[in-house]
């Protein structure tokens, strides 16, 4: 049922998001050059790896040693605009069509994080990850990692079609008011290094 809903919503709304995606792709090409897409391995259902697609929002500037500069230095004003409007997320609709992600679910995170989760936090991978989720409509990147993971597990235990529809509606509202784009002092979120020993 959930997969059918994903495919139905993505296909039915294609006349809206396809022209917008093409316009954003052209703008990224003009502003940042190639490549247009940012591709990164992420952990999906049961921790299986897939390639997440997003529009590129950062330059490839490096220091004298050839290392990439910190995210906040490479994130351009144009990139900030894409992130604040969530337009950089549009290519993930192709991830939905491929079955990598759902429209709603815990956000797919880096493969490096897998061994850092507590057993309870790892339950977030019992469902397909999503473009948006319960944590995203309840604070997004303003939340701590532990708060996000608690909400992810809550979603796993309480998921339903009606909850997904509610999250999609709340996501639209959050995008319009541009809430919770980044953590204080960060381009997005600091790296998750694992919960402290007491929580484990």
The DSSP symbol for 62 reads B
135-171 burial, b for 16+ CB within 10 Å, e for fewer? bbbbebbebebeebbbbbbebbeebeeeebeebbeeb
Write out pLDDT tens, residues 61-93. Answer: 888 887 888 878 888 899 999 998 899 999 999
Instruction: Please name the residues in contact with 102: beta carbons below 8 A apart, sequence gap of 6 or more.
Output: 2, 3, 6, 96, 127, 128, 129, 130, 131
* E strand residue ranges, the chain: 37-43, 49-55, 102-104, 130-132
Write out pLDDT tens, residues 12-45. Answer: 999 999 999 999 999 999 999 999 999 999 999 9
Please, are residues 101 and 95 in contact by the beta-carbon 8 Å criterion?
yes
Q: Which two tokens stand for residue 174?
A: 């959050």
The model's pTM: 0.87
């Amino acid at each position: 049922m959930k997969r059918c809903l994903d495919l139905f919503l993505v296909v039915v709304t294609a006349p809206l998001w396809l022209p917008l995606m093409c316009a954003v792709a052209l703008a990224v090409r003009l502003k940042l050059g190639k490549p247009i897409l940012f591709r990164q391995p992420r952990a999906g259902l049961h921790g299986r790896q897939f390639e997440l697609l997003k529009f590129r929002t950062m330059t490839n500037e490096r220091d004298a040693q050839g290392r990439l500069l910190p995210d906040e230095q490479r994130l351009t004003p144009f990139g900030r605009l894409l992130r604040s409007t969530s337009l950089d997320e549009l290519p993930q609709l192709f991830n939905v069509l491929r079955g990598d992600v759902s429209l709603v679910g815990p956000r797919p995170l880096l493969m490096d994080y897998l061994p850092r989760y507590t057993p309870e936090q790892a339950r977030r991978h019992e469902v397909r990850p999503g473009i948006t989720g319960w944590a995203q409509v309840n604070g997004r990147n303003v939340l701590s990692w532990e708060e996000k993971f608690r909400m992810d597990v809550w979603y796993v235990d309480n998921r339903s079609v009606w909850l997904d529809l509610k999250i999609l509606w709340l996501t639209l509202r959050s995008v319009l008011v541009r809430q919770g784009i980044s953590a204080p002092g960060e381009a997005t979120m600091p790296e998750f290094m694992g919960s402290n020993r007491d929580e484990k």
